[in-house]
Structure 1
Amino acid sequence: MSTVREVQVTFDCADPRSLSEFWNEVLGYVLPPPPPGFADWDAFRASLPPELRNSASACVDPAGAGPRLFFQRVPEGKSAKNRVHLDVRAAPGLAGDDRMAVLEAEAERLVALGATRVERHDPAPPMGAGHLVMQDPEGNEFCLD
């Protein structure tokens, strides 16, 4: 029998700190505790050489149920559609107009945080309950589902 593994989702990005703060707001996540010996992340960053101060960040589910998200700075920008993306479950159990109203309200909240709305897919039974395609502030696609 195989062992169940934890999953971390890693994002290549230009600004790890800002992107982790965005996803904290989207998911209700928090920054993990700073490394031992540091009162907070700002103190840790101040201890690093300037070129490393925003090279990585992370966010975690405070309840410990969801995967850790890790953000690492890379020199290149995003150049194509993601092959893997997150589905943010904003309307589980809802259907039809009620579902789409909840997704639309969540899309408005996320746009105010820096997301971009890409397209709407209306419900199309039996295969699709309806969802919204979005992008985070660095252009990574995700869906409101």
Structure 2
Amino acid sequence: MIEQQTISIAIVQNEQKQLLISRRQQGKHLAGKWEFPGGKVEQGEALETAMLRELKEEVGLSATQFTLFDSLNFQYDQLNLSLHFYLVSDYEGEPVSLEGQQIKWVSVSQLSEYEFPKANLTVINKLL
């Protein structure tokens, strides 16, 4: 049976136009790959609310300005994802690794140097 998940994701951009990425931890699906902060939308939760919650839980940031950048569906072998990417142009706080993951700021042109999950590649190409 194929599992269905809805994911809200924050593409955080700082004043230097760099994007915040984090590395998936060992033991997780797609461990070692890079991604933007985000996670599963809980039942009854709005997409924006999930993005705000995940951003706070994972890296301690509070988004103050954001817009929906893209939505897409992607299917892995046993997992069907509905992905919603928000471009965060203003935020409060400084990013901190709150879940033990490696985080870093990279320029848009550097994104292609990092290995992202296949589900993210369409959005990466739109950012480039």
Judge same fold: TM > 0.5, yes or no: no
Q: Which has the bigger relative contact order, CA under 8 A and spacing at least 6?
A: 2
Q: In terms of Rg, which structure is larger?
A: 1
TM-score of the aligned structures, taking structure 2 as reference length:
0.28
Greater percentage in strand: 2
